[in-house]
Amino acid sequence: MNASNRVGPRALAALLPDLDRQSGPRYRALSSALTALLLDGRLAGGTRLPSERDLAAQLRVSRATATAAYDDLASNGMLLRRRGSGSYLILPAAARVAGPGARMARNPLTQDTIDLSIASLPAVPGLLQAATLAALEPLGRLAAADGYHPYGLDELRDAVAARYRMRGVETSREQILITNGAQHAFDLILRALVSPGDRVLTELPSYPGALEAIKAHSARTVAVPLSAAHGWDSGAIANALLQTAPRLAYLIPDFHNPTGSLIPTAQRRQTAAAARRSGTRIVVDESFIDIDLRADAERIESPLPMAALDPSGFSIGSLSKPIWGGLRIGWIRADVADIQRLAVARARGDMSGAVLEQLVALELLRDLDANLGPRLAQLGEQRDALLAELTRRLPGWRAARPAGGLSAWVELDAPAATPLTHLLEHRGILISPGSRFAPDGALERFLRIPFALPTPRLVEAVAVLAQTWTELDPKRHARTETSLVTA
Ligand SMILES: Cc1ncc(COP(=O)(O)O)c(C=O)c1O
pLDDT < 50 positions in the chain: 1-4, 94-101, 474, 476-487
Q: What is the DSSP string of 173-241?
A: GGGEEEESSHHHHHHHHHHHH--TT-EEEEEES--HHHHHHHHHTTPEEEEEEPPTTSS--HHHHHHHH
CA of 486 to the centre of ligand 1 (A): 50
CA angle 128-173-265, nearest 5°?
Answer: 90
What pLDDT is attached to residue 485? 35
Which of the listed residues 177, 190, 318 should we mutate to test ligand 1's pocket, taking the one with most ligand atoms within 8 A of CB?
318
What pLDDT is attached to residue 40? 60
What pLDDT is attached to residue 103? 55
What pLDDT is attached to residue 111? 65
Work out which ligand 1 atom sits closest to the CA atom of 256. Answer: 1
C-beta separation of 409 from 258 below 8 A = yes
Work out which ligand 1 atom sits closest to the CA atom of 185. Answer: 11
What pLDDT is attached to residue 182? 98
Q: Counting every residue, how long is the chain?
A: 487
Distance between CA atoms of 353 and 328, rounded to whole angstroms? 9
Of 110, 109, 113, which Cα lies nearest the Cα of 457?
113
Residue type, 331: W
CA angle 290-444-440, nearest 5°?
Answer: 85
Distance between CA atoms of 400 and 389, rounded to whole angstroms? 14
What pLDDT is attached to residue 142? 87
CA of 93 to the centre of ligand 1 (A): 22
Residue 443 Rama label (left phi>0; alpha psi -120 to 50; beta): left
What pLDDT is attached to residue 78? 82
The residues lining ligand 1, judged by C-beta closer than 6 Å to any ligand atom, are 119, 181-183, 207, 209, 252, 257, 285, 287, 318, 320, 325, 330
Domains of the chain, CATH where assigned: 9-91 (1.10.10.10), 94-121+372-486 (3.90.1150.10), 127-366 (3.40.640.10)
Question: pLDDT tens-digit profile of 428-480?
Answer: 999 999 999 998 778 899 999 999 999 999 999 999 999 999 988 645 444 34
What pLDDT is attached to residue 95? 46
CA of 392 to the centre of ligand 1 (A): 31
CA of 341 to the centre of ligand 1 (A): 22
CA of 191 to the centre of ligand 1 (A): 17
Of 414, 350, 49, which Cα lies nearest the Cα of 184?
350
Q: What is the DSSP string of 465-483?
A: HHHHHHHHSHHHHHHHHHH
Helix extents (H) in 43-92: 52-59, 63-75
**pTM for this entry:** 0.79
